[in-house]
């Protein structure tokens, strides 16, 4: 959907920087904090998630209603997909890894940037898993 423009790179880099800052500053990049969340002993990250959704949901709704024309990507089209088998199976697989590591792709990258060497081990696995899935998809598109 996005071309190879410099403007795209600037927007991507800037939004990524805010995202990375928020990951570390909120505690989401600390596996110990995520583990407490998954043990249902710390409500903070759930509240943060709810606040993120409470911010984005009405704004996206409003942009769509106003038929917003994006400056770099044409008329706004919000992506919506019906529930498919892959959502449940992929979710099960992803959730298992999330429980073990107490981190997910964004926090793992932020953690590694902060000097946590084992974050890089998780990242190596992530890249391996992504490429493995791409390979399987190529060999068996229906799987």
Partner 1 sequence: MPGLSSASDPLPWYVAGPLFGLTVVAVYALLNDTLGVSGTYFQVARLVGRRTGIDVWRAAFWFGLVAGALVAVTVRGGPALSLSYGALTSLLPLASAVPLLFAAGLLMGYGARWAGGCTSGHGMTGVASRSRGSLATTATFFGVAVALTLLGHQLTGGAW
Cβ at position 119, least distance to partner 1 in Å: 8
Among 39, 139, 140, 142, binds partner 1 (CB under 8 A): 39
Cβ at position 140, least distance to partner 1 in Å: 12
Based on the shown chain and the rule CB under 8 A, indicate whether residue 141 belongs to the binding site for partner 1.
no
Give me the 105-124 binding string for partner 1, x by CB under 8 A, dash otherwise: xx-xxxx-xxxxxx--xxxx
Among 65, 67, 83, 139, binds partner 1 (CB under 8 A): 83
By DSSP bridging, strand 69-70 and strand 74-75 are antiparallel
User: How many Å apart are CA 139 and CA 133, to the nearest integer?
Assistant: 10
Q: Which of residues 40-69 bind partner 1 (CB under 8 A)?
A: 40, 44-45, 47-57, 59-60, 63, 68
Among 67, 71, 138, 140, binds partner 1 (CB under 8 A): 71
Quick one: CA dihedral 116, 118, 121, 122, positive or negative?
negative
DSSP 8-class letter at 80: -
Which string of b and e fits 55-85 if b means at least 16 CB within 10 Å? Answer: eeeeeeeeeeeeeeeeeeeeeeeeeeeeeee
Based on the shown chain and the rule CB under 8 A, indicate whether residue 82 belongs to the binding site for partner 1.
yes
User: How many Å apart are CA 20 and CA 12, to the nearest integer?
Assistant: 12
Based on the shown chain and the rule CB under 8 A, indicate whether residue 140 belongs to the binding site for partner 1.
no
């Amino acid at each position: 959907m996005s071309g190879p423009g410099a403007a795209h790179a600037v927007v991507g880099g800037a939004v990524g920087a805010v995202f990375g800052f928020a990951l570390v500053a909120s505690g989401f990049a600390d596996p110990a904090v995520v583990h407490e969340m998954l043990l249902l002993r710390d409500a903070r990250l759930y509240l943060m998630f709810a606040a993120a959704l409470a911010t984005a949901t009405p704004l996206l709704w409003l942009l769509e209603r106003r038929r917003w024309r994006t400056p770099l990507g044409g008329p706004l089209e919000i992506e919506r997909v019906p529930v498919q088998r892959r959502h449940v199976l992929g979710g099960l697989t992803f959730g298992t890894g999330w429980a073990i590591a107490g981190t997910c792709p964004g926090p793992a990258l932020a953690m590694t940037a902060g000097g946590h060497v084992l974050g890089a081990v998780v990242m190596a696995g992530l890249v391996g898993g992504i490429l493995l899935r791409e390979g399987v998809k190529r060999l068996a598109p229906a799987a």
